[in-house]
Amino acid sequence: MKRFVQIVAVLALGVSLTACDVAYPVTVIGKDGMTFRGSATNTFLEGGSFHATNGTSVCVGQYKQYQDIKTVSFPVNCNNGLTGIGTAHFDNATHGSGFVTMSDGSRWQFLFGKGAARI
């Protein structure tokens, strides 16, 4: 019986971790130094979404993240008509950086987690 309780406890912990959402800040430096700020929400080992605004334009995206993959690509859509493809490198589950190549040819840098909070 004790072993059964231990197995159930481990399974419950695993289920609770897979449903755990973590939010962290995002800072995007766009064309001509335009700065967007926002947040991302990551669901453990599933991926997440982000949004960032410069006060006028809003850009959003969704990504999938897998256990052994530290770099992901994702589409970006902005309400000003720009779209892009981003690539993010995760240093850990809530911290990293990357670039977005936008439809106008510009390349935007972004940071998420601790680095984003410093800018």
Q: What is the pLDDT of residue 111?
A: 92
21-118: CATH topology: Lipocalin (2.40.128)
In sequence order, the 6+-apart residues with CB closer than 8 A to the CB of 6 are none
- What residue type is 33 in one-letter code? G
Q: What is the pLDDT of residue 70?
A: 83
Q: What is the pLDDT of residue 107?
A: 97
Low-confidence ranges of the chain (pLDDT < 50): 1-18
Q: What is the pLDDT of residue 19?
A: 55
Instruction: Please state the pTM of the whole predicted model.
Output: 0.76
Q: What is the pLDDT of residue 68?
A: 64
Residue ranges in 37-108 assigned as alpha helix (H): none
